[in-house]
Chains A and B, each alone.
Chain A
Amino acid sequence: MAVAGAPRRSLSERALGFVLLAPAAALLLAIVVYPIAQLVWNSFFDIHLAEPWKGEPFIGLDNYRRALEDPRFWSSLGHTAIYAIVTVPGALLVGLGLALLANMPFRHKWPVRLGLLLPWALPLVFSGLIFRWFFEYRQGIVNDLLTRAGIEPLAWLTDPGLARTSICIAIVWKSSSFMALMLLAGLQTIPRELYEAAEVDGATRWQRFVSITLPMLRPAIFVALIFRTITAIQTFDIPYAMTGGGPGDSTETLAMYIQKTTLDFLDFGYGSALAALMFVVSMVATSSYLRYTRRSAGRD
């Protein structure tokens, strides 16, 4: 009897499991799967709210074809790539430095932690505005310092190269504190004994960093890199607040172009196709990280 009862009980446990998961699954379906499906669906139609008399005809892959032929899509994608390639490693390096600093045995830990948290806690657009003031031509603090040093002021926000540089600086400042927080958490899981043993064996500071800290920190670094890369691909607020995409479109990111197409131009069909393409880009970027972590995990 007991033998027959066992599978029945496990079945009802399974059922209970489904029941317990159902609310979360339903919520995810409603707020994640449904909007994404709707977005992909919209990308196959010509939906332009400023021209409702055209109706919303099905146009297959035309929106995607249009994107591939649209120079503005490629240039905004290129700018996004520049920001990602510069600011992901940039924020990692600065963040690692900050984390090591914050992990040092201070008597008062809270001012250091607060300093780390502050840039992360500021709204993105707010940081963008602060840096716009820094780099402003006439009243900016950066040009003020340059003039005091006897150097001609620079057009930080109206020269494409300088504008991208200023934006990268702002992004690194803003995002390295998040990196630092994640890495600090990783640092604190490294057992003290390892360092003590290494010290007894006569390892130098640098050797300890390379052979203990970095390998032990690797999982935290990967998680931080994945998060940072995804947000880098979605870069919007900081360039939006600092330059509005200018001069011309030379600092416009893909996310800004999507926002403009959808919310300014009301071209919902094309905007949806651009957003779907951005989704593909971030899937490709993150899956390559995941593949790398899986491979290196297998090697260990």
Chain B
Amino acid sequence: MKTLRILLVAVTSMALAATAAAETTLRIFIGGQQRPDVMRKVADEYQQKNKGVKVEIEVGGATSEAQQQYLNTVLASKDSVLDVILIDVIRPAQWAAAGWAEPLDGYLGADKAKLLPTYLKAYQDADQVDGKVVALPFFADAQFLYYRKDLLEKYKRPVPKTWDELMETAQIITKGENNPQLQGFSTAGAPIEGTVCTYLVPLWGAGGEFIRNGKPNLDSPEARKPFELMGRLKVAGVLPKNIGEIATDRIRVDFQAGNVVFAQNWGYFWNRVENDADTKVKGKVGVTTLPADKGGKSATCIGGWQLAVSAYSKNKAEAVKFVRWLSSPEVSRTMAVLASNLPVFPQVYKDADVLKANPWFADALPVVEGAKSRPVTPRYTEVSDAIRTNMNAYLSGTKTTDTALADMKSRLAAVYR
């Protein structure tokens, strides 16, 4: 009896001690390429403002697919280890369907109607699925054309507006420089997510649509355009010979080594090629909209990263609070200055500090506003795989336009039944 009483006392005092030191630990998942170092600074600031909250950062793989593969295993097993997760703009439909993202409507309450219109329109749409708020935007992104200002000036060439101009200028410069390492135009070509945009951007730039009336629109003449364009660029020697193994960040590495004239890439590119310690192109970089077809309208892929609260989190209320703070103009500004992340609030693009760090943001707003979404479906990973493996096969020279399109069509048929 006596031992029982001692045990009881011990247990109660332990329980009391636990409540006294109550501290919520929030674990946020962020990809290796999304500047976890900057996230740490932001999280430290949050911890100071909110005593009793500790933020742990889990750093994932360096690509969207690598991160999602890991998250698929965590969430399919209903693991509660993660509270807040940074997800790619292509994911909310899948996350909503799988029930992995906690719908935020209940937490936002009356604020929902006030909060949502403050974001750029594209993200209001991307983060709501069937009228429910699945995530809140963290930073915006789009693909741009980066170019070597110094080389264009040297050869007195204008900034290209069409793909034909880009090809001509690239040929003149690579010929004139006579440097075998110099690539005319680089874009993602490996079988990775970025290669989906390598297909879609020229398609849109020619006025085409990938999905029409809910079905893939691959019989249209525009569906052939990206293959024809990349084929011409490849034959002309403007694309790198190893385009089939070029991944997103590889373009950045080559560009900042001074080996690329034109590059199609996301917003993070600027900060790295201008500020990295080993960059050879500091002050020589220009940014503009991606080229279009002659007489066509420039188009680009929308990117950006969203903050979702895990449906299996044990600290949902605290997690939503943290997400709302991260998804605020204040943090958006910090991320823009420190990581050249494009803001999700229109007014932040005009902020003086932001413009000082990223002078090109002044022109970036209309580009982001006009950027188009990759197909929205819960089975996006299958759609992406069909596009990127066939584009990669075409770029590597193992498929023709006809076989690549036919294979793409037959794989997509299973998804869009």
Contact = CB atoms under 8 A, between A and B. Distances in A.
A260 interface: yes
Contacts of B72: 263-264, 266
A157 interface: yes
B213 interface: no
A52 B98 contact: yes
A50 B98 contact: yes
B65 A248 contact: no
B60 interface: no
A201 to B, nearest CB: 58
A138 interface: yes
B271 interface: no
B40 to A, nearest CB: 27
Given A52-B97, A155-B242, A266-B98, A248 B399 contact: yes
A244 B241 contact: no
A264 B384 CA distance: 10
Most buried by B among A50, A160, A249, A264: A50
Interface string A122-164: 0000000000000011100000000000000001011110000
B245 A158 contact: yes
A263 B69 contact: yes
Given A247-B396, A248-B399, A49 B98 contact: yes
B329 interface: no
A159 to B, nearest CB: 7
Interface residues of A, number: 27
A250 B72 CA distance: 26
B98 A247 contact: no
Nearest to A245: B191
Nearest to A262: B72
Interface string A169-207: 000000000000000000000000000000000000000
Contacts of A50: 94, 97-98, 378-379, 381
Contacts of B241: 137, 155
Contact of A158 (B65, B244, B390): B244
B337 to A, nearest CB: 33
Contact of B245 (A51, A137, A160, A249): A137
Nearest to B404: A248
A119 interface: no
Interface in A37-52: 48-52
A78 interface: no
On chain B, which size bracket covers the interface?
Answer: 20 to 34
Contacts of B389: 245-246, 248-249
B334 to A, nearest CB: 33
A227 interface: no
A248 B76 CA distance: 28
Nearest to B244: A158
B192 interface: yes
Contacts of A158: 242-245, 395-397
Contacts of B240: 137-138
Most buried by B among A52, A246, A250, A266: A246
B385 interface: yes
B245 A265 contact: no
Interface string B217-249: 000000000000000000000001111110000
Contacts of B73: 263
B190 interface: yes
B303 to A, nearest CB: 19
Interface in B354-408: 378-379, 381-382, 385, 389-390, 392-393, 395-399
Contact of A138 (B94, B242, B244, B381): B242
A137 B393 contact: no
Nearest to B247: A244
A155 B18 CA distance: 61
Interface in A18-77: 48-53
B410 to A, nearest CB: 9
Contact of A266 (B65, B181, B242, B381): B381
A265 B398 CA distance: 25
B99 interface: yes
Contacts of A245: 191, 389
A53 B378 CA distance: 11
Given A50-B94, A51-B97, A246 B244 contact: yes
Contacts of A246: 190-191, 244-245, 389, 392-393, 396
Which one of B69, B245, B381, B399 has the highest number of Cβ atoms from chain A below 10 Å of its Cβ?
Answer: B245
B191 A244 contact: yes
A26 B181 CA distance: 61
A250 B404 CA distance: 13
A264 B381 contact: yes
B381 A244 contact: no
B68 interface: yes
Nearest to B254: A138
Contacts of B378: 50-51
B396 A159 contact: yes
B381 A136 contact: no
Q: Which of A157, A160, A245, A247 has the most CB of B within 10 A?
A: A247
A247 B244 contact: yes
A159 B242 CA distance: 10
B244 A157 contact: yes
B97 A265 contact: no
A271 to B, nearest CB: 12
A259 B333 CA distance: 39
Interface string B59-101: 0000001001100110010000000000000000010011100
A137 B242 contact: yes
B290 to A, nearest CB: 24
A137 to B, nearest CB: 3
Nearest to A140: B242
Contact of A248 (B69, B98, B191): B191
Contacts of A264: 65, 68-69, 72, 381, 385
Given A158-B244, A260-B385, 13 more contacts: A50-B379, A51-B378, A52-B99, A138-B181, A160-B396, A245-B389, A246-B191, A248-B390, A248-B392, A248-B396, A248-B398, A248-B399, A265-B382
19 contacts: A48-B379, A49-B76, A50-B379, A51-B378, A52-B98, A136-B242, A157-B242, A158-B244, A244-B190, A244-B192, A245-B191, A246-B190, A246-B393, A247-B244, A248-B396, A263-B69, A263-B73, A264-B385, A266-B76
Interface of A: 48-53, 136-138, 155, 157-160, 243-250, 260, 263-266
Closest 4 CB pairs of A and B: A248-B393, A247-B396, A137-B242, A158-B244
